[in-house]
Amino acid sequence: MVSDFTTVDVVVTIAPGGTQWGLLVAENLNKPLIIVRPYPNRGAKGTTERTIEEVLQSSNAQSVLTVGTRVLIVDDVVSTGGTVRKVVSALSSYHATILGVVVAIAKGDGAQSLENDLKFPVHCLAQV
């Protein structure tokens, strides 16, 4: 499955659950990894989490996100696809090319709905 994405420029993963999956995929592909959180201010007391947009605006992310950057999104679970849609929306301002989504577990028809709506492949290790 991961070998289908050898042309990827960067892996974007969704914390907290997708972090370890994203690390594995990025390491396997030997590509940079950007870790985003879909919701701000969910950190430990006294810490501040940044929105997806704030993370993507950081200098580290901007050094790999340019027009046409080929992105693979990795997450642990997809149910409705809402979180992946937020990431796709944030990446659209960079005119990145989303090559696909890889998730460990797909619940219900969320993965199929994403694939139908967003027009790129969604690969799942397990469907429940």
For residue range 65-89, list pLDDT tens digits in order: 888 999 999 999 999 999 999 899 8
pLDDT at residue 97, rounded to an integer: 93
Average pLDDT, the chain: 85
- Please state which CATH class domain 2-127 belongs to: alpha beta
Q: What phi, psi does 88 have (nearest 5°)?
A: -60, -45
Q: Is 102 left (phi over 0), alpha (psi -120 to 50) or beta?
A: beta
Domain ranges of the chain: 2-127
pLDDT tens profile 2-55: 667 889 999 999 988 999 999 999 999 999 999 887 765 555 555 555 667 777
Alpha carbon distance 91, 108 (integer Å): 25
Q: What's the pTM?
A: 0.87
Considering Cα of 35, then 33, then 116, then 53, what sign does the dihedral take? positive
